[in-house]
Amino acid sequence: MRGIPADWAEKIAGQMEMFGAMIDYLTARQARVVIALLPDGTWENARPYAAAYTAAMENIAAEKKLPLYDWRDLLLDDEFSDSSHANVFGAEKVQAELLKIATPFLLSTGAFP
């Protein structure tokens, strides 16, 4: 496929190693961590790395015992402003999902009355 580096699998492995280290750093400092797979357009489904990336993220979530939110199919293709960023209509959907996670946490900390 055009535009896909031959070493994509090694790059994903390196990214996952760094991601795992970042999670360890945060959890060692009692940060609450969740993993979210952000929306993708349907054009991403044919990319060879899409399934490998998802599997790697699922493995990290399971290994680290973290919640995993799968929002890859949350948006329709016309709810993106470019290949990976939501437009104003898609952003409303993403924000609603983020608030489902953030609001209970903020309430528990006293940040919200």
Q: Tokens 């280290």, residue? A: 21
Return d(Cα 32, Cα 23) in angstroms, integer.
Answer: 10
Question: Per mean pLDDT, which range of 35-39, 49-53, 95-99 is the poorest?
Answer: 49-53
φ, ψ at 104 (rounded to 5°): -60, -40
CA–CA separation, 68 and 112 (whole Å): 25
d(CA 52, CA 54): 5
| Residue that wins the pLDDT comparison between 92 and 49 | 92
Q: Which pTM was predicted? A: 0.86
Please report which confidence band the pLDDT of residue 16 belongs to, taking 50, 70 and 90 as the band edges.
very high
With a CB cutoff of 8 Å and minimum separation 6, the contacts of 73 are: 39, 40
Q: What is the mean pLDDT of residues 71-95?
A: 95
Q: What is the third-level CATH fold of 8-109?
A: Rossmann fold (3.40.50)
